Structure 1
C-alpha cells in the first residue's frame, strides 16, 4: 500500500495496531501461565480480555472505511513479544521473572499508547469522530493499565 494521503497513513496505522493486538492475544496466555504472583496473572488475564475489545474496535473502524484487517505484520510488537518470551524462558527466581514480565508488559503498553495516540490524532484530523472516540477509549484503557499490573517485588540481598 502506497502512502499518499493522511487517510492512507491512518489506515496503515490501524492495520499495524490490529496486527500488534492479535500478537498480544497470542502471547498473553503464556504470560499468565509464567506469572507466579496471582495478582500479576490476574492482571494479564484482564489485559487479555481488554485486548479482545481493542481488536473489535479496530475491526469496526476499518469496516467503517471499507477496509479489511489484512496488512503487514507489526514487527515492532513482534520484537517486544519475543523479548517477553525470552524472559519466560530465563533461569530466574520467581519474583525476578515476574518483575521481568512486568517490564515486558509495560514496554508493550507504551508501544500501544504511541500507536493509538497517533491513530487517534489522524482520526481527528480526518474528522472520523467515531474512530477517534473508539481509539480514545482504547488509549484510556492502555494508559491506565501499566500501573495496574505492577506488584511489589521483594529485594533479595
Structure 2
C-alpha cells in the first residue's frame, strides 16, 4: 500500500473513531428525547453496538500499526448538532420521534458510506483482517438503518399521522 493510501486509511479510520465517540455521546440524548418506548430502546441498544464498533476501530488501527485517535469529522459533528437542534426546537411526542428517526438515519447513512469506503480500501490493499472488522461494522450500520426504517413505517410515522389528524 502506498504511503498516500495508508495515510488516507488512517485518516478515515480516525474520523470514524471520532464519529463513533460522538454517537456514544448523542445516542443517550436521542433516547431521552424519544417518546416511543420502542424508539428509546432502539437508541439504547445501539449504544452497546457502538461501543463494540469503537473497539473494532481500535483493533483495526492496531493491525495497521497505529492507534485510533480522534480526527475532525465535520460531517458527524454537523449531524450531531442537527439532532440536538431538533430536540431543542420540538416538543416531545410523535412528531419529534419522526425527526429523531430521520436524524439517526442521516447518521447511519454517513457511517455506511464511511465504513464502505474504508472496508473497500482495506480489502484492495490486502488488509483482509482490517476489511473484515470494518465489514462487520458496515453490516451492523446497514441493519440499524433497516431497523429504523421498519420502526418508522410500523409505529413512528403512523403515530405522527394519527396525531396530525
How far apart are the structure 1 equivalents of 2:22 and 2:123?
27
Aligned length: 155
Aligned to 2:118: 119
Say if 1:31 and 1:101, in contact at 8 Å, map to a contact too.
yes
Instruction: Tell me if 1:105 matches 2:104.
Output: yes
Instruction: Give 1:133 shift.
Output: 0.5
**TM-score using structure 1 length:** 0.93
Gaps of 5+ in 1: none
Instruction: Tell me if 1:20 matches 2:12.
Output: no
Aligned to 1:143: 142
Say if 1:120 and 1:136, in contact at 8 Å, map to a contact too.
yes
How far apart are the structure 2 equivalents of 1:9 and 1:131?
14
State the Cα deviation string for residues 75-116 of structure 1 (Å, max 9, x = none): 110000000011111233500000000000000000000000
Instruction: Tell me if 1:50 matches 2:44.
Output: no
How far apart are the structure 1 equivalents of 2:133 and 2:5?
19
Aligned to 1:39: 38
How far apart are the structure 1 equivalents of 2:97 and 2:70?
33
CA 1:137/1:80 → structure 2, altered by over 3 Å: closer, same or farther? same
Instruction: Give 1:71 shift.
Output: 3.9
Say if 1:109 and 1:142, in contact at 8 Å, map to a contact too.
yes
**TM-score using structure 2 length:** 0.89
Gaps of 5+ in 2: none
CA 1:28/1:123 → structure 2, altered by over 3 Å: closer, same or farther? same
